[in-house]
Amino acid sequence: MRLYEYEAKQLLCAEGLSVPTGIVVKSITDAVEKSKKLQGQFVIKSQVLTGNRMKAGGVVFADTPSGIPDATEELLSRTINGFKTDGVLIEETIQFERQIFIGITWNTFARLPVAIVSLQGGVDVEDLGNDSVESVHLSTLNEVQDASFRDLLRSTGFIGDDLGNLVKIFSVLWNLFQKTQANLIEINPLVQTANGRWIILDVHIELDDDALPFVKGYLMDMDIVPLPRPVRQPSLLEIQAAIIDRSDHRGVAGRVVEFNGELGLLIGGGGASLTIFDSIRSHGGKPANYSEIGGNPSVSKVAELTALLLKQPSIRKIAVIMNVVNNTRADLIARGVILGCLQVDRIPSEVINVFRVPGSWEDESFQILQHYGIEPSDRTVSLDAAAMRAVKGTN
């Protein structure tokens, strides 16, 4: 669950960190009323669940309060990286001497959280090479990480008061990271004013969707509704697949995520679907989609999803790969996939390059597939081997 910037700053303020003084408005009328009480220069920022807002035109400036309503109207009418603006955050402009990047996230390979710092912050920080970023792994068992933060910051040249103040900021972020079950807290930029004060100009916080029930009370207390949010607008294919999935209560045949590839995927089996997808990519394949099938979906539901994929101009072949199934009938999957091919006038043996669905009713599925000239793969063919066959059959 990605937080809007103003929500993330609410959390930071509650923890005692400094952010610019600001207000959130959702309408031009609201902007007109609230701007009457303001003085100075302002930055007005679209509140959208996406990054790179500056480059996409989602950040504008007003030299006086009188410019706020027009800027608000302009931003509310814009779509930023595919997202409609949910509101705008109006903040005082901050003059600063330098800007840096700091953050805490997860290193999935090390299976540990990691603290990150770069002396170069700002809108182009994502373009920096690894040589510009320092990091240190944090122990999930150690509540006090100040020594780790101190070592990290010393390695980048901080000393004296700056070192002490930044250690405190990192410590607050670490406590918030744990409290909210976050996957990422990214401060960019963290700026220092002429008098040495550190202020957070922008922040990106993502929470673990699976952990939301455990932090629900805390988020509700902070006026944040704990519900997963899309990080991008769904494509037409994804919307159509969701409609198919909802059309019949039996099982799952959908949850499609579209990619720019040529191999259509009908995959499933809990975490196996992710394993299959990753394996196909590791063998050089170009998936056109991710999907999930399971829970014994109806033949018509599988057929509709298959036909939908085959209607996509980019998809040349489809691969049907699942883990060993016990709550899904392999023969119904086979019937659905073949019916879907026939519905769009495609010859099943020419477009299905792998069919691996071992388990319940697999013998019956073999008979159906062989009738249409398709050689099924049984459980002696590993998921990785099936993925490799799918890639080779597409090239």
For 171-221, how does the pLDDT look when each residue is reduced to its tens digit (9 = 90+)?
Answer: 999 999 999 999 999 999 999 999 999 999 999 999 999 899 999 999 999
Provide the CB-side half-sphere exposure for 392 (13 A, CA): 7
CATH of residue 28's domain is 3.30.1490.20
Q: Which residues of 177-207 are buried (b: 16+ CB within 10 A; e: fewer)?
A: beebbbbbbbbbbbbbeeeeebbbbbbbbbb
Count of CB atoms situated within 10 Å of the CB of 328: 22
How confident is the model at residue 130, as a pLDDT? 55
C-alpha closest to that of 7 among 87, 118, 72 = 87
In a domain, 228, yes or no: no
In a domain, 273, yes or no: yes
Q: Which amino acid is at 79?
A: T
154 and 302 fall within a common domain = no
How confident is the model at residue 232, as a pLDDT? 74
Q: Which domain holds residue 41?
A: 21-92
362 and 256 fall within a common domain = yes
59 and 102 fall within a common domain = no
241 and 360 fall within a common domain = yes
pLDDT confidence band for 126 (50 / 70 / 90): low
* Count: domains in the chain: 3
How confident is the model at residue 281, as a pLDDT? 96
Choose one of 192, 221, 250: the last residue of a domain.
221
243 and 390 fall within a common domain = yes
* 3-state DSSP assignment of residue 359: strand
In a domain, 7, yes or no: no
Count of CB atoms situated within 10 Å of the CB of 327: 10
In a domain, 171, yes or no: yes
Choose one of 221, 255, 278: the last residue of a domain.
221
CATH of residue 111's domain is 3.30.470.20
Percent of the chain with pLDDT over 90: 78
Instruction: Look at strands 317-322 and 352-356 and give their pairing.
Output: parallel
367 and 260 fall within a common domain = yes
pLDDT confidence band for 52 (50 / 70 / 90): confident
244 and 132 fall within a common domain = no
Interval 148-164: pLDDT, tens: 999 999 989 999 999 99
In a domain, 287, yes or no: yes
**What average pLDDT does range 377-394 have in this prediction?**
95
Backbone angles phi, psi at 106, to 5 degrees: -105, 135
139 and 259 fall within a common domain = no
Choose one of 36, 58, 92: the last residue of a domain.
92
**What average pLDDT does range 284-290 have in this prediction?**
96
pLDDT confidence band for 75 (50 / 70 / 90): very high
pLDDT confidence band for 394 (50 / 70 / 90): confident
249 and 372 fall within a common domain = yes
Mean pLDDT over the full length of the chain: 92
List, in sequence order, the alpha helices (H) in the chain.
Answer: 5-14, 28-35, 68-76, 146-155, 160-179, 212-221, 236-246, 272-282, 299-310, 330-343, 348-351, 362-371, 383-394
Furthest-apart CA atoms within the chain: distance in Å? 79
